[in-house]
Structure 1
Amino acid sequence: MGLAGRRKTLGYSQEKLAELLGVDRTTVGRWECGKNAPQPHQRSPLAGALEVSLHELEVLLSPSRTAERGASHQKSSDHPKAGDPDEMIRREFLRILTVSGALAALPFDEAEALADGVQRGDPAHFTRMNSHLWQVYQLARSKGTVYPIVRDQLTALNEALSGARHRNSLPLLKAAADLFQLAGEVSFDANRYADAAASYTLAASVSKEAGTYDLWACALTRHAYVDISEHRYREATETLRAAERVAVRGDTALSTRHWVASVQAEAHACRGDLAGCEEALAQAEEVQHLADGSSNGGWLRFDGTRLAEERGARYVQLGRFDLAEEVLGEALKQGSLASGHSYRRRGAVLADLAVVGAKRQDADQMLAYAGEALALAQASSSGYIARRLRSLCDEFGPMSRDHRVAELGAEIAALRTP
C-alpha cells in the first residue's frame, strides 16, 4: 500500500489531507505519484496525519518512487540518448533558447555555446541563462509553461554546486538564489503557496550564505507576498521588516528598498492602516529619483512603472473607492497595460475596478470589468488573476440574485490554473 492507499484507508480526500498539512492539493498529488517527495519539515506532520511512524511513512513513499523510476526507465528505453542527464538538460536549454519566441533572435551557435557553458558549470553562463529565463517568464501568457525549464536549470545548478566544493562557489550560489526566486514565482502564479514559500525560503538562505543582500531582501519580500495572500498580515509585516533591514545593506543604486516599501504598503492596507500605507507608498515612489539600471528585469523588476496600479489597489483594500477608481482608471489607460504580454497586470487592475463596482452594488460596472478580467484569466491560465476574481465573488451580496452575476460567479468558479 502506498501513500494514496493509506490516505484512502483513513477516509481522507487529497483536499482534506492538504488542508490538514497546510499545503496545496497538487502537492499531495505529486507526493502520491512520485513526482516530488515531502520536505524534511513536512514529514513529521504527514506521518501524524496518516497515523504512521516516520519509518512507516518512508515505506509508504517507496512505491511512488519505484513507479517513478520505472516510468523513467521506460522513457529511456524508448529514447536511447535520453538516459544521459547532462545531454537531456543541454537539449532542453537549446530548445528554450532557439524555439522560444522571446529568444528566437539568438543565433543557434550562440545558444549552443551558452548551453555548453551551463553543462560545464560555468557561473557566468548560469547567470546569463537565468536572465533569459526571467525574460521568457515575463513574456509567457501562461506562466506555468516555464516550470519544466526552471526545474532543469535547478538540476544543472545543483550538480555544478556539488562539483564546486573545493573552489569558490559564491557565483553559483548567487545564480541559485536567483533561480529559486523564479521557481517561486511560477509556483505563486499557480496558487501553489507551499511550493512558493519553500522556494523563497531556499532563495533567502542561499542569498544569505553568498552575502548578496539585495537578492536576500527580494527573497524575503516575495515570501511576504505568500503571507499576505494567505491573510497572515502580522507575519508578512515581520518578514518585511527583516527585508527592510537587509535591503539597507545592499546596493543603494538598486531599487530593492523601494520595492520592500511598496509591499509594506500592501501589508499596511490589509490591516486598515491608511497612514502607514501612504507613508510606505511615498517611500516606494522615491524609486523615480534613481538612475536607469536600478532594476535588472529579473529577480528585481521594481522600477516604479506600476505605482499607479499599486496605489489604486491599496485604496480598494482601504475602502477608499473614490480615490481608487480615479487612480485605477488612469492606470488602465496607460500604454504598458494595453500590451498582450501584460495579462496579469491588466487583469489585476480590472479585478480591482470590478470590486469597486461590487462595493457600490453597481452590477453593470462590476460585470463589465470582471468579464474582461475573466477572459484574460482564461486566456493565460493565470492563478493570480483567478485568485483576485474569486475574492470578488465574496463582494456580490444582493447582486448574486441577478442571473448575470450568478453566471459570472459560475464561470469564475470553473477557472482552471496549472
Structure 2
Amino acid sequence: MGLAGRRRTLGYSQEKLAELLGVDRTTVGRWESGKVAPQPPQRRPLATALEVSLQELGALLAPPRAAGHQSSDPPPSAGDPDEMIRREFLRILTVSGALTTLPVEEAEALTESVRRGAPADFARMNSHLWQVYQLARSKGSVYPVIRDQLTTLNEALAGHRGSARPLLNAASDLFQLAGEVAFDSNRYSDAAASYSLAASISKDAEAYDLWACALVRHAYVDMSEQRHRQAAQMLGAAERLASRGDNNLSTRYWVASVQAEAYAGLGDLDACERAMDQAETVRDLTADSVNGGWLRFDGARLAEERGSRYVQLGRLDLAENALKDALEQTALASGQSYRRRGAVLTDLATIGAKRQDVEQVVAYGREAIGLARASASGYVARRLQALCDEFGPLSRDHRVAELGAEIAVLSTP
C-alpha cells in the first residue's frame, strides 16, 4: 500500500490531507505520484497525519516495483558516493599499514604497476577542487572529478609506504567535499555517509581540525531533518576536538557559528547569541586561519547567519537588519555564491510571510527562485519549499499562489 492507499484507508481526500499539513492539494498529488518527495520538515507531520512511524512513511513513499522485474536503479547522480570506491577505500585502509612492515622487495612486488601519488599533490588538487566547487553554479557538476580523484587516491594509498597520515588527511578532505556535493543535492544519506567516513579517517590520522569539521558538516544533516538536539550533541563533540586542534585555525569559531543554529532550532536565544558572539571573534585571527578547502570559515557570512538565526527565533526586526546587510555582501557582482544569496533572499521572504506582507514575499521570493533555477541548487529549492509552509492565509493572494506553484516545480533531487 502506497501513500495514496494509506490516505484513503484513513478516509482523507487529498484536499483534507493538504489542509492538515498546510500545503497545496497538488503537492499531495505529486507526493503520491512519486514526482517529488516530501521535504524533511514535512515528513514528521505527514507521518503523524497518516498515523505511521517515520520508517513506515519511508516504505509508503518507496516507488512501487513491478512484479517479475529486476531492479533497474538509475546510475549514480551528482553527489551519490560511488559504493565500489567507498568499499575499496575502506579495504585499503585495513592493509596500508601492513605494507610499511613488509620487506622492501615484497612491498614493491605488492605495489608494482600501481600508480603512486605524492601527498602534496593530492592536497593541491583537493584545494583546487574546493575552489571549483565554490565557483560552480551547479555543485553537482563537480562530482565526476571528485570520484576520479578518489580512485587515484585509493591507488596511491595502496602503493604508499611510510606514514600514511598525509594521504589520510587528503582522503578526509575529499570525502568532506563529496559530502558537500551530496548535501547540496538533498541526498542526505549519501552526505552523512561521506561525512562519517571523513570523520573516521581523520580520527585514524589524529587530525583534530579535519575531524571536527567532518562532525560540523554531519550536524548540518541532522538540522536539515529537524534533529536539533542530536546536532547540538555532535557539535559538542566537535567543540572538544577543535580545542585539541590548531589554535591558529578558525575551526572552533565555525563550530560556534553552527552551534548557534542548533540552539536557535531549540528556541534558546541566550545560548544562540553566546555562540554567535564566540563566532564573531574569528576576526581576531590572521588570514592564514582558513585554507579555502575543508575549512573556509572567516566570518564573511556572519551577518546572514545571524539574520537566519533570528528568523528561526522569531526576532524579525533584528533578523531583517542583519539580512539586508548580508544581501549587500552577497551581491552577485562581487562573485559571491548563488546559494548564499538565494538563502538570504528566502529568509527575507520568510520575514514577509510572517508579517503577512505580500509585496515582500513576492519580491524576494521571485529573485530567490531565479537563483535556484540558475544554479540548480537543491539547497535553495529546499529553503524555498520551507517558505511555502509560512504562507498560510497569504496563499489566497494570486501572486503568492503563483509563487508557490513555481517553487513546487523546482528540482530537489
How far apart are 1:339 and its partner, in Å?
A: 3.2
Share of identical aligned residues, percent? 67
Q: What is the TM-score with the length of structure 1 in the denominator? A: 0.73
1:141 lines up with 2:182 in the alignment: no
- Pair 250,260 (structure 1): closer, same or farther in 2 beyond 3 Å: same
Which amino acid in 2 is paired with 1:32? D
User: Deviation per CA, 1:76-98, whole angstroms, max 9, x where unpaired?
Assistant: xxxxxxxxxxxxxxxxxxxxxxx
User: Contact (CA 8 Å) 2:282, 2:298: kept in 1 or not?
Assistant: yes
* 2:200 matched residue in structure 1: 205
RMSD, aligned CA: 2.9
User: Contact (CA 8 Å) 1:140, 1:341: kept in 2 or not?
Assistant: no
1:160 lines up with 2:159 in the alignment: no
User: Contact (CA 8 Å) 2:212, 2:241: kept in 1 or not?
Assistant: yes
* 1:316 matched residue in structure 2: 311
How far apart are 1:120 and its partner, in Å?
A: 2.9
User: Deviation per CA, 1:392-413, whole angstroms, max 9, x where unpaired?
Assistant: 0000000101111111111101
Q: Distance in 1 between matches of 2:121 and 2:234?
A: 32
- Which structure 2 residues correspond to residues 35-74 of structure 1 after superposition, within 5 A? 35=76
Q: Distance in 2 between matches of 1:153 and 1:406?
A: 45
User: Deviation per CA, 1:231-255, whole angstroms, max 9, x where unpaired?
Assistant: 0111101100000000000000000
User: Deviation per CA, 1:13-52, whole angstroms, max 9, x where unpaired?
Assistant: 7969x965969979x9998346589979xxxxxxxxxxxx
Which amino acid in 2 is paired with 1:132? H
Q: Distance in 2 between matches of 1:25 and 1:386?
A: 22
Which amino acid in 2 is paired with 1:175? A
Deviates more, 1:226-235 or 1:333-342: 333-342
Name the SS of the counterpart of 2:73 in structure 1. Answer: helix
Q: Distance in 2 between matches of 1:308 and 1:284?
A: 11
Moved over 3 A (4+): 12-16, 18-26, 28-31, 33-40, 335-341
Pick from 290, 295, 301 the counterpart of residue 296 of structure 2. 301
> Which structure is higher in helix share?
1
User: Contact (CA 8 Å) 1:351, 1:369: kept in 2 or not?
Assistant: yes
1:181 lines up with 2:222 in the alignment: no
Which amino acid in 2 is paired with 1:325? E
User: Contact (CA 8 Å) 2:199, 2:210: kept in 1 or not?
Assistant: yes
Name the SS of the counterpart of 2:337 in structure 1. Answer: helix
* 1:32 matched residue in structure 2: 73
Name the SS of the counterpart of 1:32 in structure 2. Answer: coil
* 1:125 matched residue in structure 2: 121
Q: What is the TM-score with the length of structure 2 in the denominator? A: 0.74
Q: Distance in 1 between matches of 2:332 and 2:55?
A: 36
User: Deviation per CA, 1:103-155, whole angstroms, max 9, x where unpaired?
Assistant: xxxxxxxxxxxxxxx95322111111001000000000110100110011111
1:151 lines up with 2:192 in the alignment: no
* 1:357 matched residue in structure 2: 352
Which amino acid in 1 is paired with 2:73? E
Name the SS of the counterpart of 2:247 in structure 1. Answer: coil
Name the SS of the counterpart of 2:287 in structure 1. Answer: coil
Pick from 172, 188, 195 the counterpart of residue 190 of structure 2. 195
Which amino acid in 1 is paired with 2:209? D
Pick from 261, 271, 278 the counterpart of residue 276 of structure 1. 271
How far apart are 1:167 and its partner, in Å?
A: 2.5
* 1:6 matched residue in structure 2: none
* 1:407 matched residue in structure 2: 402
Name the SS of the counterpart of 2:248 in structure 1. Answer: coil
Q: Distance in 2 between matches of 1:271 and 1:265?
A: 10
Which amino acid in 2 is paired with 1:232? R
Structure 2, gaps ≥5 residues long: 1-32, 39-53, 85-113
Pick from 366, 372, 379 the counterpart of residue 367 of structure 2. 372
User: Deviation per CA, 1:330-355, whole angstroms, max 9, x where unpaired?
Assistant: 11122655435421111111000000
How far apart are 1:217 and its partner, in Å?
A: 0.3
Name the SS of the counterpart of 1:391 in structure 2. Answer: helix
